[in-house]
Amino acid sequence: MKEKFIKIDNENYIKEAEVIEGGFLDHGFQNYVVRIEIIGKAGKSSVIRSTIEFEVEDASKASSVSTSGLAAIAEAVIKYMKEQRSAEPEQAPKQTSDEETIQRPK
């Protein structure tokens, strides 16, 4: 199966890939596009929105489309991000100018 990225929006965290050879196209689909979008929420949380768009003449084949693969990828991303956050050292709050200690020569 070959895919081609048709949209890469790094500013809004959106990626779209279209199957251009093999995969679902070999099973009667005329078009098959996967879209992944990461939406930032309050604090350090995000939502991963996955969408599959497709065209197929035989409606019975539509039931073979599943987002379970995308869900597995999302779970792997979540696990990775949690591991990265737990590995980050705790940062001490920065001192403001009134809290700075002035050392004078003796």
**Total-model pTM:** 0.72
Taking residues 67-92, what's their average pLDDT? Answer: 85
Q: What spatial distance separates the first Cα and last Cα of the chain, rounded to whole Å?
A: 75
CATH code of residue 39? 3.30.530.20
For residue 91, the model assigns a pLDDT of: 59
Q: Which residues of 63-79 are buried (b: 16+ CB within 10 A; e: fewer)?
A: eeeeeeebeeebeeeee
Question: How many residues are listed for the chain in this entry?
Answer: 106
In a domain, 44, yes or no: yes
Please say if 106 is a catalytic residue: no
Q: Does residue 98 form part of some domain?
A: no
7 compared with 82, residue with greater pLDDT: 7
Catalytic residue among 15, 41, 79, 106: 15
Number of domains in the chain: 1
Classify residue 35: in a domain, yes or no: yes
